Amino acid sequence: MGKENKSQVLKKAFVLLAKKTASLEANTACPLLTYQEKEPEQVKKLRRF
Distances (CA, A) of 28 to 31, 44, 46: 9, 11, 11
Structural domain boundaries, residue 22: 3-44
Residue 35 placed within a domain: yes
Residue 32 placed within a domain: yes
Q: Considering its fold, how many domains does the chain have in total?
A: 1
Tens digits of residue pLDDT in 1-49: 677 788 999 999 999 999 888 888 777 776 666 666 777 787 777 777 6
Residue 29 placed within a domain: yes
Residue 49 placed within a domain: no
State the pLDDT at residue 13: 94
Q: Is residue 26 classed exposed, middle or buried when 0-12, 13-18 and 19+ CB atoms within 10 A define those classes?
A: middle
Residue 34 placed within a domain: yes
Residue 12 placed within a domain: yes
Q: Is residue 46 classed exposed, middle or buried when 0-12, 13-18 and 19+ CB atoms within 10 A define those classes?
A: middle
pTM listed for this prediction: 0.59
